[in-house]
Chain A
Amino acid sequence: MNIETRKRELVKEFSPLIEKTTKVSKIWMAILVAIILVGIYSFFVQLFKGHEVTGMRDNVVWGVYIINFIFFVCLSYSGAFISGILHFFKTPWKNSISRIVEIITVLSLIIGPIFILLCIGRLDRLHYLFLYPRIQSPITWDIIAIMTDLIGCFIYLYLTFIPDFAILRDHSDDAPKWRQKLYKFLAIGYQDTESQRETLHKITRTMSAMIIALAIVAYSVLAWIFSLTLQPGWNSSIFAPYFIIAGLYSGVSVIIIAMYLIRKYYHLEHYIRKVHFVSGGIILLILSLLYGYFTFSEYFSRWFSHKTHDTNLLNTLFTRYFWEFVFANYIGVLVPVVILFFKKLRTIKSITFASIIAILGLWLNRYLIVVPTLETPYLPIQDTRAEFVHYTATWVEWSLSFAGVAAFILFFILIMKLVPIIPMSGIIDNERSSKVKSTLTKPVTES
């Protein structure tokens, strides 16, 4: 079949996903916008009344904002890492999930740092970070890492979008004019010639390798913000690899959940198949075992060394945060392990359920890393009120947190309205390469 005809067919196949918005989608988008609006209201409440409206006080100066920041940033790094791996090693089934991963990467990297801004009490002094940076501080490293990584991820995402923009430019005759103009602008004159294709493949491959390295560096820097302090529960030499494993664990889980939702609501069973879920499930199983091992190693060494402040922290975890600890470190690890270990249990729904459990467990794990440590400081703060010692998030924090999640989903849907979630160029590339293979093997078999 002619490639141009095939491209036209693909555009025809995917254009309903892009151009038409179902009633369910509209309701969903309205709900998401409502959640975001509540979040914006909360933001203004916090802006005018100060951090008094949050649960953060003298002892616990970091709350759910920083937990969301870690969660989203880790999600992004793991997305970048996975995406880089998929591209660099030319994974055969990558086409169906690569765009999901890329969008997750960029969106979480945009939303994550917003939470750190919500954490800052004096936003009017934010520019001091750039005017008077201390190069010795892990916070400065993190700012540099996040900004560099964000730009890198944007470039990388854009590179993977170019061939699809070109296809949409050439074959969206029925699309509105603004959309056609936008595709033309974003396609930067890509005509899918041999040399253009080669150049694009070359730079995408280089960027994918760069993204893997960047993700590892940025992950480690994020972990060092905690582990380079002497705080009990944070000062750990394995925090950087632990964060990488935990991030990948959450990343793979979110990808599986996204795959499930996209497959179900956009009826993409033909492209997102059970094999993708099973492969993702096996990766999740390996990561859950690694994550469980790191978690055990981390808490075991603290328990065994029996240092006073570590013991105090562990006592807090086993009393005040008992159920959270059990969910984060037992249920959040063991349930996915059990579901994913047995072949019979590996159905699409069960794998997705295991991913949801893993995500909730990981979010709680982050909570247990941040809050109990701040509640058990080395030096007790004098004359502090009893209600200041313990942290409980307020409605302002929760609404902003949910607004972040809602924004993530909403932007995801909007990006899916711009380009197909399954890369058309990838399908064409696959078909082209299989055609080449068949022409190469034909004479051999015939002879």
Chain B
Amino acid sequence: MKRNIFKKATSISFILALLFSISTFSQELTVDDYKLSFSFKTIKKFDNSRVLEVTFIGKNREDRKDKIPVYDAEIKFFNIVNGEEILLGTAKTSNEGIAQLILSEKQKYLTDSDGYINFTARFEGSETLDSEEEEILVKDLQLHLELKEIDSVKTIFVKAFTIDSLGVETPVEELDVIISIEGMLSKMKIKEGTIENGEIEFELLQNIPGDIDKNFTVYAQILDNDEFGDVIQKQTVNWGTFTKIASEDENKLWSEAAPIWMYIVLTILLVGVWANYVYTVIHLIKIKKEGKNLELSNKE
């Protein structure tokens, strides 16, 4: 029997998840059978807003495939400098165990002397779940994406730099960047390279399919970087091609008027048959006339 120790919403949600987990049908599992994973990351988006994201899940210690999200857990996000904690906001984990806080472009952050921003995500714990905390240090990277056609060559320019407190731009070095194009379901990687001296340029492939207006969106992505976290920039450009998707022919038999060939075939068939009937009747009339003449001549 499960221990009746979960009183708070977070604990109840976790235990409910346990109850309805498929693996619990075979044996009774407790919170202790799960190791909690609390991962934190930051993503700087193309509109310069910043997302702080925590993924909070329980992983079965024995069965790695058995993962249960911790949902409805309140996560507090802080910006900390020299022991001073500034609460940026709070968010609760979703059914997938993800808590997100979106900070606008206007949000100001405190940085340390090296220009790093300290973001801390904290779960203060419950009666059954221990408190969790994770911090990340990132610099605020300015990522610029420019698309230009130079001598008929479609080129992507990526610039990456940081700005210090005095407003001086410092180009970054040795930063891996991925160029991708937005597809229907996910981003399609087309190029990757390393930014040197704050710049890199790529030649874009020809004949990339676009939308109905020949537009497509190019992304420059810095992913999982120790210094900057995730940074994404995007631009939409009218360089694509549009191929009209061959739509299925309409079923002409469901239309108001039948296809012409049907009228023609039917007419030919009916005219052929009825012409034969007429031909037969004409000959019958001939037989009748001949009979009448014979009758008359016999009478005479």
Given that A199-B286, A203-B279 are known contacts, is A152 also in contact with B295, CB under 8 Å in the complex? no
Indicate if A43 sits at the interface (CB-CB under 8 A).
no
Which A residues are in CB contact (< 8 Å) with B289?
A: 189
Give chain B nearest CB distance to A238 CB in angstroms: 21
Q: Which of B92-100, B128-136, B194-202, B263-271 lies at the interface with chain A?
A: B263-271
Please list the 9 inter-chain residue pairs (A to B) with the smallest Cβ-Cβ separation, ordered nearest first: A189-B291, A136-B253, A135-B258, A188-B288, A136-B258, A203-B280, A203-B283, A189-B288, A191-B294
In the complex formed, the residue of A with least CB distance to B287 is A196
Partner of A210, one of B263, B273, B291: B273
Using CB atoms, name the residue of chain A closest to B298: A191
Contact B276–A207 (Cβ < 8 Å): yes
> What are the residues of chain A within 8 A of B263 when measuring CB–CB?
135
In the complex, what residues of A have CB within 8 A of residue B283's CB? 199-200, 202-203
Q: Enumerate chain B residues within 8 angstroms of A199, measured Cβ to Cβ.
A: 283, 286-287
Q: Does A206 contact B279, Cβ atoms closer than 8 Å?
A: yes
Within 8 A of B (CB), among A135-176: 135-136, 141, 144, 148, 151-152, 155, 159, 162
Range of interface residues on chain A? Answer: 20 to 34
Determine if B157 is an interface residue (Cβ-Cβ < 8 Å).
Answer: no
Report chain B residues within 8 Å CB of A187: 291
Query: In the bound complex, do residue A155 and residue B288 qualify as a contact, i.e. CB atoms below 8 Å apart?
Result: no
A214→B254 CA distance, assembly (Å): 27
Q: Which residues of A contact B148 (CB under 8 A)?
A: none
Residues in A neighbouring B214, C-beta threshold 8 A: none
The smallest beta-carbon distance between A215 and chain B, in angstroms, is: 12
Q: Does B277 contact A (CB under 8 A)?
A: yes
Residues of A with C-beta under 8 A to B288? 188-189
Query: In the bound complex, do residue A135 and residue B266 qualify as a contact, i.e. CB atoms below 8 Å apart?
Result: yes
Contact of B280 among A136, A159, A191, A193 (CB under 8 A): A159
Contact mask for chain A residues 190-202; partner B; CB cutoff 8 A; 1 contact, 0 none? 1101011001101
Choose from A136, A141, A152 the contact partner of B273 (Cβ within 8 Å).
A152
Residues of A with C-beta under 8 A to B291: 187-191, 196
Say what secondary structure dominates the interface of chain A: helix
Residue from B258, B266, B277 within 8 A of A152 (CB atoms)? B277
29 contacts between A and B (CB under 8 A): A134-B258, A135-B258, A135-B262, A135-B263, A136-B262, A144-B266, A152-B273, A155-B277, A159-B284, A187-B291, A188-B288, A188-B291, A189-B288, A189-B290, A189-B291, A189-B292, A191-B291, A191-B294, A191-B295, A193-B290, A195-B290, A196-B287, A196-B291, A199-B283, A199-B287, A200-B283, A203-B279, A207-B276, A210-B276
CB contacts under 8 Å to A, within B173-216, are none
Closest residue of A by beta carbon distance from B274: A148
Q: Which residues of the partner chain A approach B290 to less than 8 Å between Cβ atoms?
A: 189, 191, 193, 195-196
Q: What B residues does A148 contact at CB under 8 A?
A: 270, 273-274
Q: In the bound complex, do residue A144 and residue B270 qualify as a contact, i.e. CB atoms below 8 Å apart?
A: yes
Docked complex: A109-152 residues within 8 A CB-CB of B: 134-136, 141, 144, 148, 151-152
A217 at the interface (CB under 8 A from B): yes
**Considering the complex, which residues of chain B in the window 231-283 have a beta carbon less than 8 Å from any beta carbon of chain A?**
252-255, 258, 262-263, 266, 269-270, 273-274, 276-277, 279-281, 283
CB neighbors of B among A178-194 (8 A): 187-191, 193
B271 to chain A, nearest CB (A): 11
> Contacts A136-B253, A136-B262 hold; do A206 and B287 have CB atoms under 8 A apart?
no
Query: In the complex, what residues of B have CB within 8 A of residue A214's CB?
Result: 273
Chain A residues, Cβ within 8 Å of B277: 151-152, 155
B-side interface residues toward A, CB under 8 Å?
Answer: 252-255, 258, 262-263, 266, 269-270, 273-274, 276-277, 279-281, 283-284, 286-292, 294-295
A189 to B290, CA, bound (A): 8
Q: Which residues of chain A come closer than 8 Å to B294, judged between CB atoms?
A: 189, 191, 193
Q: How far is the CA of A203 from the CA of B269 in the complex (A)?
A: 19
How distant is the Cα of A210 from the Cα of B280 in the complex, in angstroms? 11
Chain B residues within an 8 Å CB radius of A206: 276, 279-280
Chain B residues near A203 (CB, 8 Å)? Answer: 279-280, 283-284
Most buried by A among B253, B270, B284, B286: B284
Cα of A159 to Cα of B284 in the assembled complex, Å: 9
Q: Quick one: given A136-B262, A155-B280, A159-B280, are A190 and B287 in contact (CB under 8 Å)?
A: yes
A135, B287: Cα distance in complex, Å: 38
A122 CB to nearest B CB, Å: 23
- Measured in the bound complex, the distance between the Cα atoms of B291 and A190 in whole Å is 6
A188 engages B270 (CB within 8 Å): no
Nearest-CB residue, chain A, relative to B276: A210
Shortest CB–CB separation between residue B79 and chain A, in angstroms?
Answer: 59
Q: Smallest distance from the beta carbon of A77 to chain B beta carbons, Å?
A: 15
Which residues of the partner chain B approach A159 to less than 8 Å between Cβ atoms?
Answer: 280, 284
Which residue of chain A has the shortest Cβ distance to B251 in the bound complex? A136
Contact present for B287 and A188 (CB under 8 Å): yes
Chain A residues within an 8 Å CB radius of B269: 217
- With both beta carbons as reference points, the residue of chain A lying nearest to B292 in the complex is identified as A189
User: B residues within 8 A CB of A190?
Assistant: 287, 291
Given contacts A187-B291, A189-B291, 6 further A-B contacts (CB under 8 A): A136-B258, A152-B273, A155-B280, A188-B288, A188-B291, A203-B284
Chain B nearest Cβ from A88, distance in angstroms: 14
Residue among B266, B281, B291 with the highest chain A CB neighbour number at 10 A:
B291
Query: Which residue of B is nearest A166, CB measured?
Result: B291
Complex CA distance for A135 and B261, rounded to whole angstroms: 11
Contact: B280 with A207, CB < 8 Å?
Answer: yes
Contacts of B292 in A (CB 8 A): 189
